[in-house]
Structure 1
Amino acid sequence: MTANLILDPLIPMLALYALGVAALLVVGFGLWRGLAGWALRGLAAAALLAALANPSLQREDRAPLSDIVIAIVDESASQRIGVRPDQSAAALANVEAEIAALPNTELRIIRLGDGDGDSGTQLMLALSEAMAEEPRARIAGAILITDGQTHDLDLAPDLPAPLHVLLTGQSQDWDRRLVIKNAPGFAILGEAVTLTLRIDDQGAVPADVAGSANITIAVDGGEPQSYRVPVGEDLELPVVLPHGGMNVLQFQVEVNEGELTDRNNAAVVQINGVRDRLRVLLVSGEPHAGERVWRNLLKSDPSVDLVHFTILRPPEKQDGIPASELSLIAFPTRELFVEKIDEFDLIIFDRYRLRGILPNAYLDSVRDYVKRGGTVLIAAGPEFGSADSLWRSSLGEIMPVTTTSRVFEQGFTPALTDLGKRHPVTEGLEKLAPEGGWGRWFRQIGLEQISGQLVMTGIDGAPLLVLDRVEEGRIAVLGSDHMWLWGRGFEGGGPQLELLRRLAHWMMKEPDLEEEALVAAANGQRLTVTRRTILDAPPPVTITAPDGTTSELILPEVAPGRYSAGWDAPEMGLYKLTQGDLSTVMALGPSAPKEFEETIASGDKLQPVVTPMRGGVLRIEDGTPDIRAVGMGRVAAGRGWIGVTPREAYVTQDIRIAALLPAWLWLLMAAGLTLAAWLVEGRRARTANP
């Protein structure tokens, strides 16, 4: 129980002050005139003023409250390295035992995981939130069990008690990390783009590994190439993308013995490869209705450089016109078909027949161009089944079809095969059909498939569009010259533009149109895995997490030839996905999250926050400290110990107020003092006048 003296004036305080001033003036005047009872009159005035002030005695019944110590246990990704989990557990157990031994003290334990996204360790935010849940007057101290790598120092709260850091890690720790300082989002195919890399060492680096490191580079999960590079220097790496679409470049620095973690030794860069210009050579054997459609289609695309070679006057035509009057300049056939053939992305033979205009050596050059990685599309007409068919040249060696020498002149509607419904070139084309279905074609060349992939059929299921791979290149044969009817909108037309676009991109090896592909896309920490295949249902996907743990994901079929499923990744970092012979990598957030930018345990970042709060930074490897009570404002840390400040907080259970003296007693005192003053003054007056 405690007692306090309080005032409860009977009149406003301003009036009480005025009366006090007036009483002081009167007493002062009596003193100046030499009145013998001035002191007694002053006491009488004081008694009256005290009565008006109404002094009271307030008694409180108080219940003491326990002090609270907050312990924040950092359990972020960097705290799961090496011996740090064991150190944290031992330090927390010691803190619990020490706090339990202190009288009237409680411990609040807050466990902190990784921040949202790639925000890192939010240590100060966790401390602020923990303080907000407790009465400030009861907080006797805070203890952070961490590696010291926090990423929100600007949110450090104003703590009314000491703040301490128990530091995990070991003094001999060292680590090596790979940093991608500059990487563009896209690059033009065939042109070098420069990436800037850097390898940094941290901590107590052994002498035998300092100075240089081995780095391997792989594109799209292919065969890696290894290089020896210096450490601590910016490296400018020129890269030429191998194909259009998304190119995934994976960098891996060798992991040395004793290195703290390998989570920051790898990085992934995704660069979208775009073509500056698509160079197409269109060879038309003769003028026909579909020729203009081909030309208009290719010329309408500003990204296409078209070279169109049309045979207007075949050699067998005898019209008596001198050859010198047929052309202003000789057509550069040797330059196109031999010297610069590799500069073309696609060669189209549209109703071409053997007439001696292109020597066999030039067609041999086209065949070798395909084997080296080139692409050829053959749009066959009636001439394909004749004696001068292109199939009878050296190009026939790489074609996936043979001719039956028959030409069907009747209406038919092209149809997708079961394989065509799964193949990325023709998948979903039936959904683009106008109302009533695709328009009809009226000519089909008799073909027999000998290899490749049949994706479209015509009359009585005969091959219409066949695709094939030839060594490094690709070839396609379209057994009709009536695709132009779709472009003209006959009977509603059909998806001519989309089919040719996909066909051209497949032939140029765009990853988005590969038949067998394993693709991953990230949205936050949710991974969407898609497998495209023209074969049977694929096996489960094996996902290797950044920490090396693996899990399997079964992909259900969502469309013909397409299997997909979503998967929630447990943390940011680099994931590797493997399914049979296919593999890919995907980085959620950065390859090395912020948690692994600095992995060496250090109290340097937290020292400016700890020092003003009279706390200390102690390494757990030096021993777990004692905890003792220290006075407010005193140093709260020393060798082997840390301190908390008792706050002596309480809660008031009852309040009682009683007047210090009854009112009649104040009046009696004032009257008695006034009477005494009068008697003293009267006696003095009689003595002075006998």
Structure 2
Amino acid sequence: MTHGILFDPVLPLWIIACLAGASLALVALAAWRGLSGWALRGLGAAVILAALMGPTLSREDREDLSDIAIIVEDTSASQRLADRPGMTARAADDLEARLTARGTDVRRVEVGDGADDSGTQLMTALAEALATEPQGRVAGLFLLSDGRLHDLERAPPLPAPLHLLHTGRSEDWDRRLIVEGAPAFAILGEEITLTLRIEDSGAAPEGVREVPLDISIDGEAPQRFNVPVDQSIELPLVLPHGGRNVLEFTTPEAAGELTARNNTALVQINGVRDRLRVLLVSGEPHAGGRTWRNLLKSDSSVDLVHFTILRPPEKQDGVPVEELSLIAFPTRELFLEKIDDFDLIIFDRYKRRGILPALYLQNVVDYVQKGGAVLFAAGPDFAGASSLYRSPLEAIVPARPTARVVDEAYRPKVTELGEKHPVTAGLAQMHDGEWGRWLRQIEVEAPQGDVVMSGAGDRPLLMLNRVGEGRVSLLASDHAWLWNRGYEGGGPQLELLRRLAHWMMKEPELEEEALWAEATGQRMRIIRRTLKGSAGDVTVTAPDGSDVVLPLEEVAPGRFEAQYDGPQIGLYRLVSGDQSAVIGLGPAAPVEFEQTIASGDALAPLIEGTNGGIRAIEDGLPAIRVVREGRPAAGRGWLGITPRGAYVTQSVTQTALLPAWLVLIVIGALVTGAWLREGRR
């Protein structure tokens, strides 16, 4: 129980102050004039003024409240290394017991991994814990962690000493692989440079100057190199293919290091072509002669070399050669010396004229066998005796002409196989599904490869085939230009020819048999494209080596998909039949494993500002002492808490010190005494 005097003035204080001043002046005047009762009158005035202040005696019945200590336990991924989980749990239990023995209430808070690889959110958890407790009761804050937090800027105002008990051991060490610089994309065929560094931290073994480094591209067998430790290295690299290239760099786990989760670095680089070199050889000019030229010239990444045979050798019109402004066809340079420089060769209604000897055409066959691409856009000449089919090119042409030209109107359509093939998949739904008619088709038989479009009488119209390492296609009509002119509404000519050219140039997104995945956060959408009737299952191998088999469901002709939520961050390997792929979810090493050696350096400024301390659990749990607010709260072998002296008031009793009856009696006595004294005198 506590006591105190309270005042409840009857009048405003300024009025009481004025009355006090007037009373003092009158008493002083009486004393100056020598009135004998001035002292008694002064006492009477003082009693009246005191009564006007309304003094009361207040008695409070209080209940003392215990202090609160908050223990924040870090259970993030880096705290699950070695024996840290057990060390943290034992220290928290012992600390709670010591605090409880002192009559302190303990609040324990656990902090796991932050969402979306945001790391350890220690300060966020501490701020939330403080928000639920009365600040006037918090006597101490204890962090049981490795000190590696990722939200220091969110530290709240701290009402009590903050202490860190870290879980590190003096012999801890770790090796980490860091990618310091890597481009997001690279041009195929050109060398790029990646900057890597292998860093040892903590009590690393001495004398280690070089360590192995394994490099794997798209999950292939890795190549091993020896690289220096704690030194940035520049790695030259040429991407093997277009599209996404997944590069995995790994240094093997060494004996005694804390974890191997940060021994791998994952880099995804998109391979793009700088310039595509296309050779377009056109026969006699015709209505659709500019179709291919306009298509290829509309793409700024294409270098087009176009020759049109305007004056064949058999043409004799008497015009002197010196008056002709035609360029001679550089057959030797194009088909013998530089043929391998082209990514695609297109023969547009070209026939044998004696300009290209059989040796040069055989070079085209060899070019395809070694990985080149040739497209035949057939016209009536393809069915005649001078057809390119009747040359060494017969070995690669996807179909044999019957010598018949079908002159009738028909609507091209995508075949059942074409609905699955990436070149023609979805074309039937384009251009409002209504295509204009073509008026001519070259009849062919014995088609090889894939027939993806048909024409008059369901005859093969567009055939795609693989020959050796290369690709060949045959468009058995020269009327694709009708779509470009809008005849009977036109059709998806630009999209068809674009896809056809890109398929022949081996763009990854147009492969018939393909497996890939698209990641959104930790969820991946697995996509399998195939020309077969079914795709089977896909096996997903997680970074820890565990396998999950998922069924693939057909979502469109030839396209199968599955959804999968990756439980870990890192490299996943996908296998479906003879197709395989890799995809990275997040960084190869989460942010929790960027720094694994326990340290209090990051928290030191914050802890020093509260007079707290940093101690290693392996040195033994410090004793708990009580210190006054503002005094150092850490010393050798001990950590301190600050008593807050909080209480709750149960009841309040107030008693007037100058009740009205008492004031009247005292005033009456003083006035009477003053009158008697003055009267006797």
TM-score w.r.t. length of structure 2: 0.91
Query: How big is each residue's C-alpha offset from its partner over 1:548-574, in whole Å with a ceiling of 9 and x where there is no partner?
Result: 554444332211121223333445544
Partner of 1:117: 116
Q: CA deviation at 1:502?
A: 0.7
Q: CA deviation at 1:56?
A: 0.8
2:441–2:456: 8 Å Cα contact kept in structure 1?
no
Q: CA deviation at 1:185?
A: 2.8
Higher mean displacement: 56-65 or 37-46: 37-46
Residues 611 and 544 of structure 1, relative CA distance in 2, 3 Å threshold:
farther
Aligned length, in residue pairs = 681
Residues 678 and 610 of structure 1, relative CA distance in 2, 3 Å threshold:
farther
For 1:204-215, list aligned pairs within 5 A. Answer: 204-209=203-208, 211-215=209-213
1:445–1:480: 8 Å Cα contact kept in structure 2?
no
Higher mean displacement: 110-119 or 574-583: 574-583
Partner of 2:489: 492
1:61–1:654: 8 Å Cα contact kept in structure 2?
yes
Q: CA deviation at 1:454?
A: 2.4
Partner of 1:560: 557
For 1:74, give the aligned amino acid.
D
Residues 636 and 7 of structure 1, relative CA distance in 2, 3 Å threshold:
same
Q: CA deviation at 1:127?
A: 0.8
Residues 588 and 335 of structure 1, relative CA distance in 2, 3 Å threshold:
same
For 1:213-252, list aligned pairs within 5 A. Answer: 213-252=211-250
| Pick aligned residue for 1:292 from 273, 277, 290 | 290
Is 1:592 the counterpart of 2:592 in the alignment? no
Partner of 2:344: 346
For 1:533, give the aligned amino acid.
T
Partner of 2:519: 522
Q: CA deviation at 1:633?
A: 3.7
Partner of 2:643: 646
Residues 677 and 582 of structure 1, relative CA distance in 2, 3 Å threshold:
farther
Higher mean displacement: 436-445 or 277-286: 436-445
Residues 516 and 88 of structure 1, relative CA distance in 2, 3 Å threshold:
farther
Partners of 2:568 and 2:55 lie apart in 1 by 67
Q: CA deviation at 1:135?
A: 1.0
Partner of 2:12: 12
Q: CA deviation at 1:28?
A: 5.4
Partner of 1:449: 447
Q: Which runs of 5+ in 1 are unaligned?
A: 686-690
SS at match of 2:509: helix
Partner of 2:143: 144
For 1:167-566, list aligned pairs within 5 A. Answer: 167-209=166-208, 211-319=209-317, 329-434=327-432, 436-450=434-448, 452-566=449-563
Residues 58 and 584 of structure 1, relative CA distance in 2, 3 Å threshold:
farther
2:219–2:573: 8 Å Cα contact kept in structure 1?
no
Q: CA deviation at 1:500?
A: 1.0
Residues 554 and 628 of structure 1, relative CA distance in 2, 3 Å threshold:
farther
Partner of 1:126: 125
1:73–1:146: 8 Å Cα contact kept in structure 2?
yes
For 1:250, give the aligned amino acid.
E
Partner of 2:579: 582
For 1:360, give the aligned amino acid.
A
Residues 510 and 328 of structure 1, relative CA distance in 2, 3 Å threshold:
closer
Q: CA deviation at 1:317?
A: 4.2
Q: CA deviation at 1:585?
A: 3.5
2:383–2:442: 8 Å Cα contact kept in structure 1?
no
For 1:666-681, list aligned pairs within 5 A. Answer: 666-673=663-670
2:81–2:259: 8 Å Cα contact kept in structure 1?
yes
For 1:259, give the aligned amino acid.
E
Partner of 1:95: 95
Q: CA deviation at 1:12?
A: 1.1
Partners of 2:211 and 2:674 lie apart in 1 by 104
Residues 39 and 368 of structure 1, relative CA distance in 2, 3 Å threshold:
farther
Partner of 2:105: 106
Query: How big is each residue's C-alpha offset from its partner over 1:284-342, in whole Å with a ceiling of 9 and x where there is no partner?
Result: 23333332222233233333322112223333445555666656553221111122222
For 2:176, give the aligned amino acid.
R
Partners of 1:388 and 1:349 lie apart in 2 by 14
Residues 411 and 230 of structure 1, relative CA distance in 2, 3 Å threshold:
same
| Pick aligned residue for 2:652 from 643, 655, 661 | 655
Q: CA deviation at 1:425?
A: 0.9
Query: How big is each residue's C-alpha offset from its partner over 1:81-104, in whole Å with a ceiling of 9 and x where there is no partner?
Result: 23222222222332333344332x
Partner of 1:58: 58
Partner of 2:608: 611
Q: CA deviation at 1:534?
A: 2.0
Partners of 2:665 and 2:162 lie apart in 1 by 59
Residues 463 and 626 of structure 1, relative CA distance in 2, 3 Å threshold:
farther
Higher mean displacement: 419-428 or 367-376: 367-376
Partners of 1:306 and 1:410 lie apart in 2 by 33
SS at match of 1:347: strand
1:444–1:458: 8 Å Cα contact kept in structure 2?
no
TM-score w.r.t. length of structure 1: 0.90
Partner of 1:77: 77
Partners of 2:38 and 2:358 lie apart in 1 by 141
Partners of 1:496 and 1:322 lie apart in 2 by 41
Query: How big is each residue's C-alpha offset from its partner over 1:46-95, in whole Å with a ceiling of 9 and x where there is no partner?
Result: 32222111111223333333322222222223223232222222223323
2:278–2:304: 8 Å Cα contact kept in structure 1?
yes
SS at match of 2:168: coil
SS at match of 2:108: strand
Q: CA deviation at 1:240?
A: 3.3
Partners of 1:595 and 1:113 lie apart in 2 by 11
For 1:19-30, list aligned pairs within 5 A. Answer: 19-25=19-25
SS at match of 1:476: strand
Residues 314 and 180 of structure 1, relative CA distance in 2, 3 Å threshold:
same
Residues 259 and 585 of structure 1, relative CA distance in 2, 3 Å threshold:
farther
Q: Which runs of 5+ in 2 are unaligned?
A: none
Higher mean displacement: 599-608 or 638-647: 638-647
Partners of 2:73 and 2:357 lie apart in 1 by 80
Partners of 2:110 and 2:217 lie apart in 1 by 40
SS at match of 1:47: helix
Q: CA deviation at 1:419?
A: 2.1
Q: Matched residues, percent identical?
A: 59
SS at match of 1:289: coil
